Amino acid sequence: MSQEIAVIGSPDFTTGFRLAGVREFENVPNDQKDEELDAAVERVLDDEDVGIIVMHDEDLEYLSRGARKAVETSVEPTLVTLGGGAGSGGLRGQIKRAIGIDLMEEED
């Protein structure tokens, strides 16, 4: 069974992923994030076909404490956030956490 990538965020954020072929997405307009983002995250977490959730790191601030904890501690699907500064942990660390190995580790 193949695992889908799901993207959650504003239409501006999700459009690039959709053009790249991502079929699972939740559009949440910027002016509706306070009301709609929790529900979008819950729908994606409940989708057994989704293996990776992609969100903009700033959108995590709009989530309720419970929804944020659920998505940040979920092993499958795994959350990957984009757009953060040095404190975001980086994509490499998030992939390592998701699959348990460092794909970018250089061999001697």
Q: Please state the domain extents for the chain.
A: 4-99
pLDDT of 41-53, one tens digit each? 999 999 999 999 9
Nearest to 44 by CA among 12, 9, 7: 7
Architecture of domain 4-99: 3-Layer(aba) Sandwich (3.40)
Q: What percent of the chain has pLDDT over 90?
A: 56
Given a cut of 70, whether residue 27 has pLDDT beyond it is yes
Residue 77 · residue 50 · CB < 8 Å: yes
Per-residue pLDDT of 52-61, as tens digits, reads 999 998 999 9
Q: Is the pLDDT assigned to residue 103 strictly greater than 60?
A: no
